[in-house]
Amino acid sequence: MISRLQSRILPRLIHLQNPQRFFNDEGCEHELFYLKNNKLNIDERDGFITPEIPKISNIGSPSFRSESNFIVDENGYVNVYTDGACISNGMANPKAGIGVWFGDHHSLNVSQPIVGRSTCNVAEIMAVTEAARQAKKAGVKKLKINTDSQFLIKCVTEWMKKWKIGGWKTAKKKPVINKEELIELESALSSLEVTWAHVSSHSGIHGNEMAHLLAKEGICKIKEEISS
């Protein structure tokens, strides 16, 4: 059986056989739905609920658990997975949340709503900012940030240096939209030895899937506050 939500949109989507992706004006990739084994799966990034949690796998470099229950890679970097989620991104009344995952049931995991300007990219940036703060609080010196946001990685590793030289203007001489959030991120990352890893979203990587769920829970907290 399918839910009422699925039954409403299934007639319009049934002809599609592969994941459908698009990029909105924030440069944020969305995956709305895909058909697999004749079952409709709907992703929440645009407000829909995924009925099935994908099959989880552990992908990446060899790692081990530290005494603090961190996942540490062979080079001594503590792994953290971050994600941001936003519904109604770029439209009226957006709601966003962040997810930070250090490990299953880890005390430093974070699920929070965003207060203020809410977009997908703001959420991605703020998720890493919070991850860095949590890591420093725990005395972590070397942090490996795993994110599915190429935009975020390019901001930090390539574009910010150019934007600073150009007075925080883009190549088109327009103000950098996320300037304040990026400055806050840079401050949070200071004193940490950081390495970045891009991971594919919705591909069964356990840390990424868990960070995404935490980000979605952050959005739900906004809804709970509104209803209470």
pTM tops 0.95: no
Sign of the Cα pseudo-torsion (119, 121, 126, 127, in order): positive
pLDDT of amino acid 64 = 57
Position 68 scores a pLDDT of: 74
Q: For the residues 72-90, what does the mean pLDDT come to?
A: 96
225 falls in which pLDDT band (50, 70, 90)?
A: low
Of the pLDDT bands very low, low, confident and very high (cuts 50, 70, 90), residue 202 is: confident
Per-residue pLDDT tens digits for 25-76: 333 444 333 333 333 333 333 333 333 333 333 444 455 565 578 999 999 9
Nearest partner of 140 among 183, 76, 60, 217, judged by Cα: 76
Give per-residue pLDDT as tens, 167-189: 999 989 999 999 999 999 999 99
Per-residue confidence band for 227, with pLDDT thresholds at 50, 70 and 90: low
pLDDT of 222:
84
**Would you kindly state where each structural domain of the chain is located, as residue ranges?**
4-46, 63-227
Q: Residue 77 contacts by C-beta under 8 Å, 6 or more apart in sequence? A: 142, 143, 144, 193, 195
Radius of gyration of the chain (CA): 18
Residue 102: band (very low, low, confident or very high) from pLDDT cuts 50, 70, 90: very high
Confidence at 144, pLDDT banded by 50, 70, 90: very high
Average pLDDT, rounded, for the chain? 78
Question: How far is 153 from 188, CA to CA, in rounded Å?
Answer: 15
Residue 141 has pLDDT above 60, yes or no: yes
| Percentage above 90 pLDDT, the chain | 64
Per DSSP, what are the bridge partners of residue 21? 31
The two three-digit tokens of residue 167, written as one number: 């007075």
Sign of CA dihedral 206, 222, 84, 2: positive
Confidence band, pLDDT 50/70/90 cuts, at residue 216: very high
Average pLDDT, stretch 207-222?
Answer: 95
Which residues are CB-neighbours of 15 under 8 A, at least 6 positions away?
Answer: none
With bands split at pLDDT 50, 70 and 90, how would you rate the model's confidence at 89?
very high
Domain 63-227 has CATH 3.40.640.10: no
Residue, of 228 and 224, whose pLDDT is higher: 224
pLDDT band, very low/low/confident/very high, at 145 (cuts 50, 70, 90): very high
